[in-house]
Structure 1
Amino acid sequence: MRLEPEPNRWAFPPADTADENGLVGIGADLAPGTLLAAYRTGLFPMTLGDTNKLGWWSPDPRGVLPLDELRVTRSLRRSVQRYRVTVDVAFADVIDACRTIDRPHGWITPDIREAYVRLHRLGWAHSVEAWTQDGELVGGLYGVSIGGLFAGESMFHIDRDASKVALVSLVARLAHGNVPRLLDVQWATGHLQTLGVVEISRNEYLSRLERALEQPFPPWRC
């Protein structure tokens, strides 16, 4: 069940006013209504470097994963059979695992962690988890889902291919019904490009976003 939060009280600049780094503005807050308004206009939050200042971003180009272009190798198909996949069973554990990964530009601050847990409780943020047969959480991802948009935020793995298995499951859910849903990954890293992620212009992203937001929410637990 989804609960609509208090309306956003901030006025975001248009996404196409971003600077050369993709930064649109600084400030606002991480209230559920603020986050949903940002995603609906093509923005997402991330802190500025080592500061606690909150930035709102719209990179150009933007990384997206076309649902029919996910690259599933033979070894990944075998891994799909090795793990048990669930959805929304361990959201807080997934985001905590993503936080603890040693990344050069970690952005999941305690405030951001709490904001997305709150959004999850309202039914707007979701996780996909990969477990061993012994019940150990070894991979997963989380993000925000609005209409036909899934804005992927982060993923982690402890065992080989575990996060990829979660991604395979996510794509299957988003592809249900053959409607133009959008899987946003923000920036197209080299690793993500090996999975089929491509770069599109900001204008193209905003056009696809507009269409995706008109689509129905996918059957998350199919």
Structure 2
Amino acid sequence: MPRLPWLDEKQVIFPPIDTALSEPNGLLAAGGNLHPQTILSAYRQGIFPWFSPGEPILWWSPSPRCVLLPSKIHISKSLQKVLRQKRFKITVDRAFPAVMKHCAASRNYTDQTWITPEMYDAYCNLHTLGHAHSIECWQQGELVGGLYGIAIGKVFFGESMFSLVSNASKIALVHLCAQLERWQFQLIDCQVESPHLRSLGASSMGREEFHEQLNKFANPYPTGAESERPTLWKLDGDYNG
């Protein structure tokens, strides 16, 4: 691994994001901590933690950045058909820990996960504080899909999603986008591009433009206690989709 800036565990000050490595893309720093204020500060600057078991905390700011505008999600004809059939019940913040555990479960193509016990505890803590949120997709009373992320200002920072049945995570994302659009959110950060995300309408954004979007929409409050005010997530009721 290339030599990286090592962050102090007690007082985390991130280096400028334009100093991130190009290979591996976006690797910025190591060390620090996963305290709520550290993670929130990182996201506001376009930085997120991502590391495997046995590694130090690694911080990333890749460029280009994969983003999705809530109003621009692509719903294919086949997905439209599933939505009309109303196979699933959609809820918000009803099962955050369970969604994280499903996202951390081993996938068919790997036995590793970046959602370490430390990451699980950190994001569950952020959920308790009102910053991290989940969208759950249920079928016959069973949790079969969902996603989670962090809301800051008018930006939703997506972290991970899972599906136990076909289309479940896509349905969760569709309902998330619809809700975010009603709340006038401007951007969903998808972090790293993939064919799956592109098929759903995600696109690439350069680091400079992404940082400008964060300054405009994810840093609406002055520094201090007010800057830590969580987004209030409240539904009139559950959805069927």
TM-score, normalised by the number of residues in structure 2? 0.83
Which residue in the other structure is 1:4 paired with?
Answer: none
Task: Give ranges in structure 1 of 5+ residues lacking alignment.
Answer: 1-7
Q: Name 2:3's counterpart in structure 1.
A: none
Moved more, 201-210 or 74-83: 74-83
Counterpart of 1:15? 17
Unaligned runs of 5+ in 2: 1-9, 222-229, 237-241
Superposed CA RMSD in Å reads: 1.9
User: Is the contact made by 1:92 and 1:117 (CA closer than 8 Å) also made in structure 2?
Assistant: yes
Structure 1 window deviating more from structure 2 (212-221 vs 82-91): it is 212-221
Residue 42 of structure 1 corresponds to: 46
Distance verdict in 2 for CA 1:180–1:209, change over 3 Å? same
Is 1:72–1:195's contact at 8 Å kept on the other side of the alignment?
yes
Alpha carbons of 1:14 and 1:79: their partners in 2 closer, same or farther (altered >3 Å)? same
Q: Is 1:63 aligned to residue 66 of structure 2?
A: yes
1:132-152 CA distance string (max 9 Å, x none): 1x1010000000111111100
Q: Give the match's secondary structure for 2:75.
A: coil
How much has 1:217 moved relative to structure 2?
4.2
Contact 1:174 1:218 in 2 (8 A): no
User: 1:173 aligns to what?
Assistant: 179
Equivalent position to 1:99, from 100, 104, 113? 104
Inter-partner Cα distance in structure 1 for 2:106 and 2:179: 26
Match of 2:207 in 1: 202
For the residues of structure 1 that align with 2:234 and 2:161, how far apart are their CA atoms? Answer: 18
For the residue of structure 2 that corresponds to 1:175, the secondary structure is helix
Structure 2 vs 1, CA of residues 73 and 219 (structure 1 numbering), >3 Å: closer, same or farther?
same
Deviates more, 1:101-110 or 1:54-63: 101-110
Q: Distance in 2 between matches of 1:209 and 1:22?
A: 17
Residue 117 of structure 1 corresponds to 124
Given that 2:131 and 2:231 are in contact with CA atoms closer than 8 Å, whether structure 1 keeps it comes out as no
1:183 aligns with 2:197: no
1:139 corresponds to: 145
**Deviation (angstroms), 1:78:** 2.8
In the TM superposition, what is the alpha-carbon distance from 1:212 to its structure 2 partner? 1.5
Aligned: 1:163 with 2:169: yes
What does residue 24 of structure 1 align with? 28
Count the aligned residue pairs.
Answer: 212
Give the Cα–Cα distance (whole angstroms) in 2 for the partners of residues 10 and 77 of structure 1.
45
Give the alignment's TM-score, normalised by structure 1: 0.89
